[in-house]
Amino acid sequence: MHMMENVTIKGKNFLGFEIEINADDLEEIKKGLDIVIASSVHLIKNSIVTLRFTEDNKQFANDILNYLKGKNIDINAVVVDDKNNLQSSVPVIELKNIHLLSDSHKQQPATYKGNLRNGQEIRVNGDLIIAGNVNPNSYVYATGNIFVLGKLYGIPHAGYGGNNDSMIFAFDLNPPQIRIGNLITRSPEEGVSVKQNNNMVFEVAYAENNSIVISSYDEWLKLKN
């Protein structure tokens, strides 16, 4: 007898490493997770992990996040097709096309887990994923795309070396400057605000007709399709 696994490690998506959950019963899912964790705990603890739910089991998202938290496993984001009716304590990525990006880049993205702090800089060849915040006065350079699973308040340079087709993604995109390929844009100079806004809209910066455009992630996905 051979059935589809309840819970499987699907491998790389554009954010890192994805666990796909197929079962529709909470206890079954937990059992499946236990098996995956037992066999791959090292992999799971040392990379950016997203959970992929189906329309039929996304109602369990919070239960499962808590279950994993109890096992000291932190999930960076939840991935679903449609985020309606979803309760989640971590960011939700609504992706009909999660593989869209990585298809064009055969190289594995570099990942950095932790906060990039004032005075620090990171440079990579290819795509870069940062699971953490990029704080003011830090610098991020990637020859490919930059994905920040956190706040981006430092200065990103995607497509470093001249690739204007690169993009920048962040949970909270608020840098003083954005550099893509050989383009550069400055954020409008408002007074430094100490207020923060909590309505997080994932945003993307990309180049169009030789200027840098910022749009919500949802809008950007629509454009791409």
Partner 1 sequence: MAGKVLTITSGKGGVGKSTTSANLALGLALSGKKVVAIDLDIGLRNLDMILGLENRIVYDVVNIVEKTCKLNQALIKDKRTENLFLIAAAQTRDKSAVTSEQIKELAEELKKDYDYIILDSPAGIEGGFKNAMEPADEVIIVTTPEISAVRDADRVIGILEANSKTETNLIINRIDPTLVKRGDMMSKDDVLQVLSIPLIGIIPEDKNIVSYTNIGEPSILHKDSKSGMAYKNIIQRLLGKNVEFMEITEDKKGFFQNLVSLFKE
First to last CA, the chain: 39
Residues 6+ apart with CB under 8 A from 155: 138, 139, 140, 175, 176, 177, 178, 179
Contacting range for partner 1; rule: CB under 8 A; set: 1-9, 20-28, 60-68, 190-198: 190-198
For position 176 contacting partner 1 by CB under 8 A, the verdict is no
CB 65 within 8 A of CB 73: no
Q: Smallest distance, Å, CB 152 to partner 1? A: 13
Given 102, 137, 164, 185, the residue binding partner 1 (CB under 8 A): 137
Q: Smallest distance, Å, CB 64 to partner 1? A: 25
Given 66, 87, 118, 125, the residue binding partner 1 (CB under 8 A): 118
For position 194 contacting partner 1 by CB under 8 A, the verdict is yes
For position 102 contacting partner 1 by CB under 8 A, the verdict is no
Taking the least distance from each CB to partner 1, the nearer of 59 and 174 is: 174
**Positive or negative torsion for Cα 140, 146, 150, 156:** positive
For position 215 contacting partner 1 by CB under 8 A, the verdict is no
* Residue 43, CA distances (Å) to 17, 188, 224 in order: 9, 42, 31
The closest of 124, 51, 121 to 88, measured between CA atoms, is 51
* Site residues for partner 1 per CB under 8 A: 114-120, 133, 135-138, 151, 192, 194-196
